[in-house]
Amino acid sequence: MTRRLQLHEDMKTALKAGDKIRLGTLRLVWAAIKQREVDERIELDDGQVLAVLGKMLKQRRDAATQFEQAKRDDLATQERAEIVIIEAYLPARLEAAELTSLIDTAIADTAATSMRDMGRVMALLKQRVAGRADLSELSARVRTRLG
């Protein structure tokens, strides 16, 4: 079953179970997926759904941080709950050793030698990690490796 269909089925299940937090989060995710499908006039595949989920996860993390700084613990708690629900639909995170191995392979595959080659390395890595690593962390590691 694709992630898109799984999300839809889980949304129905949450509705029947009366799980308001889960239902609200899944409705937000579903609305983001549908909005992108309407905008681009396509049906999203798993990779594109992962991109939407990753974007939503980043938004929630940023919002939680801002709410914590503003001393709004109630809203930060809600954002953290949404993060947990969204993360359940993402693939397992890569371990540090796996990430290092992927970076080394991408650098070798692109014949990168300096920071000017970072764009090519990141483009290749973005495809290979597909939601299994934080791209800002990945970028920092590549920058360190090439610099």
3-state secondary structure the chain: CCHHHHHHHHHHHHHHHCCHHHHHHHHHHHHHHHHHHHHHCCCCCHHHHHHHHHHHHHHHHHHHHHHHHCCCHHHHHHHHHHHHHHHCCCCCCCCHHHHHHHHHHHHHHHCCCCHHHHHHHHHHHHHHHCCCCCHHHHHHHHHHHHC
What confidence score (pLDDT) does residue 147 get? 85
pTM: 0.79
What confidence tier does 1 reach under pLDDT thresholds 50, 70, 90? confident
What would the pLDDT profile of 96-110 be if each residue is shown by its tens digit?
Answer: 999 999 999 999 999
Q: Which CATH architecture has domain 3-87?
A: Orthogonal Bundle (1.10)
pLDDT at 89 exceeding the cut of 80: yes
Least confident of 3-12, 44-53, 62-71, 126-135: 126-135
Where exactly are the structural domains of the chain? 3-87, 96-146
The predicted-structure confidence for 42-65, as pLDDT tens digits, reads as follows: 999 988 998 899 899 999 999 999
Give the CATH fold of the 96-146 domain: Arc Repressor Mutant, subunit A (1.10.10)
